[in-house]
Structure 1
Amino acid sequence: MPRGWQLLRTRPKLFVLGMVPAFVVFCILSAAFVLLVLNLGNVTAWLTPFADDWTEAIRTLVRVLLAVAIVVGCVMLWSATFTGITLTVGDPFYERIWRATEEMIGPAKLGDGVGFWRSALDGLKLAVVGLGFSILVLCSGFIPVIGPVFGVVLGVVLSGRLLARGLLARPMEARGLDGAAQKELLRPYRRAVLGFGVVTQACFLVPFGGVLVMPVAVAGATVLAREILDDLPALPYAAVKG
């Protein structure tokens, strides 16, 4: 991430360009989230009709726990959905960023990017997996005391790993590395990949953090991909996919 900030400081127009799709998606998803929060009482009551006849104290406790779990789960879903949609909508923008980052680091032989439809599919996968993580977080929210905290930590770790793989896929596929090759290549570097993804995902939980960090994350992932590839023997572009 620091290298990503450093590189984009020299290209402020690219930084602003990368913020555009992230800002649009942020506004749409934030409006949906605010609408949910404003109607949270009605939602929890609708989900727990069986509690209507319980004593007020128990009914309130159950619905408060459910409300907290819903908010935590939706925050994680918001984050994963934001990432998936932003990468899809902003793929042309982010391709310019990672290619410019490659040029700033040094010359490299690159092929075509993943393309719009492949980017859309990757974004959809990210959103679907994020939905699964959010359900898991929602369920963990019912664990007394530690549930919400455990859910947030678990969600950040799981979605961060997925996010890192998604961002690293762009520069790696441009070198002809398919999904299986990327998985094998990244295996010895899983700690670095996970650390990068978790830090990035944590930034997305901060208001406007995703808007500011997304272009930096794209540049940072490109730097990380180059560092990993530089540790390996030369990869014959024509011998791998593409």
Structure 2
Amino acid sequence: MRDLATGVGYLIKGQRWMAQHPRSWGFGMVPALITLVGYVAALIALGLWTDDAISWLTPFADDWGTPWLGLFRGALAVLFFGGCLLLALITFTAVTLLVGQPFYESLSERVDLSLDGHAPESGLPLWRELLIALRESTTVVIRVVLWGTLLFVAGFLPVIGQTAIPAIGFCIAGFFLTEELTAVALQRRRVPLAERLRLLRSRKLLVLGFGVPLTLLFLVPLAAVVVMPGAVAGATLLARDLLGEPTSQDPPASGDTALGTGIPGGPGPHGPDPMGPR
């Protein structure tokens, strides 16, 4: 249970870090806002066409009497839309990170610098990083689709389908949401997807403590836009924890005022702050 509380704590610390850096927060919301507009339009269209799609997929039920026809297709519509919403939650993060890749990577570096004055770098050109991120995100989305299909089928089970299955769905969404967010810091450390998944599975309560509350927040209109930058900052702390790196600021060294105060605005060992002065 301690790991669960720690995961929630990293989510809160990430938001607090961004609140102390409002300029970065504002820039970080732009990619999320652009992505959100597209997703809202797609979900509205999906909502308008769900009933027609379910009717087309279940022609065998056309002759069923009331109330069975309405109950059957209504349950399918809810499960179908819920599965699409689960997929949207995961892919929203992946797409937002791809759209805002340069910013979020710099943001993650700043969090690292504020802790110990060191920000690992992948050493890869931007196009290569984007290609790797796209490939690995596609792999994650495929896994989510498979899980979503399994949960969709399990949703037909009496009682369990309406109670336990939605809870399991939130846990799965939280796990993969955390994977996408920690990937920003872990890819800079050249940690491949298979190893990232192994690390996350080794600390499931830590991951769920971070990811499940974030999943619930993402269901609130516009909340995803506001919390996304802080989620990246918090995920960087979580990634450091998984690798055994310090997650709190080291005591300031003599004369090191910029990093010693926790403000990543000083030059540090990797040159000037990539986000520029605040």
Task: Return the offset for 1:219.
Answer: 0.2
In structure 2, the CA distance between the partners of 1:202 and 1:126, relative to structure 1 (3 Å rule), is farther
Q: Is the 8 A contact 1:85 1:124 kept in 2?
A: no
Structure 1 residue aligned with 2:228, among 210, 214, 219?
214
Q: Is the 8 A contact 1:122 1:166 kept in 2?
A: no
In structure 2, the CA distance between the partners of 1:21 and 1:113, relative to structure 1 (3 Å rule), is farther
Structure with more of its chain in helix, by fraction: 1
- What is the number of residues matched between the two proteins? 232
**Aligned mates of 2:58, 2:227 — CA distance in 1:** 38
In structure 2, the CA distance between the partners of 1:187 and 1:80, relative to structure 1 (3 Å rule), is closer
In structure 2, the CA distance between the partners of 1:43 and 1:128, relative to structure 1 (3 Å rule), is same
Structure 1 residue aligned with 2:131, among 94, 117, 124?
117
**Aligned mates of 2:38, 2:73 — CA distance in 1:** 27
Task: Return the offset for 1:148.
Answer: 4.1
Amino acid at match of 1:101: V
Structure 2 residue aligned with 1:157, among 151, 171, 175?
171
Task: Give the corresponding residue for 1:138.
Answer: 152
**Aligned mates of 1:55, 1:43 — CA distance in 2:** 20
Identity across aligned pairs (percent)?
34
1:49 aligns with 2:59: yes
**Aligned mates of 2:193, 2:95 — CA distance in 1:** 20
For the aligned residue pairs, the C-alpha RMSD in angstroms reads 2.4
Task: Return the offset for 1:142.
Answer: 2.3
Q: Is the 8 A contact 2:113 2:119 kept in 1?
A: no
Q: Is the 8 A contact 2:18 2:25 kept in 1?
A: yes
1:201 aligns with 2:224: no
In structure 2, the CA distance between the partners of 1:185 and 1:132, relative to structure 1 (3 Å rule), is closer
Give runs of aligned pairs for residues 37-116 of structure 1, distance below 5 A. Answer: 37-112=47-122, 115-116=129-130
TM-score by length of structure 2 reads: 0.75
1:4 aligns with 2:8: no
Unmatched runs of 5 consecutive residues or more in structure 2: 1-10, 248-278
Q: Is the 8 A contact 2:136 2:193 kept in 1?
A: no
**Aligned mates of 1:188, 1:141 — CA distance in 2:** 28
Tell me the alpha carbon deviations over residues 105-159 of structure 1, each in whole angstroms, 9 at most, x when there is no partner. Answer: 2312512277111111222223222222322232233234552443332222112
Task: Give the corresponding residue for 2:245.
Answer: 230
Q: Give the secondary structure class of the aligned counterpart of 1:53.
A: coil
Range moving further from structure 2, 105-114 or 61-70: 105-114
**Aligned mates of 1:113, 1:81 — CA distance in 2:** 26
Which structure is richer in relative contact order (CA contacts within 8 A, separation 6 or more)? 2
Unmatched runs of 5 consecutive residues or more in structure 1: 233-242
Amino acid at match of 1:70: F
**Aligned mates of 1:110, 1:55 — CA distance in 2:** 64
In structure 2, the CA distance between the partners of 1:106 and 1:79, relative to structure 1 (3 Å rule), is same
**Aligned mates of 1:70, 1:181 — CA distance in 2:** 32
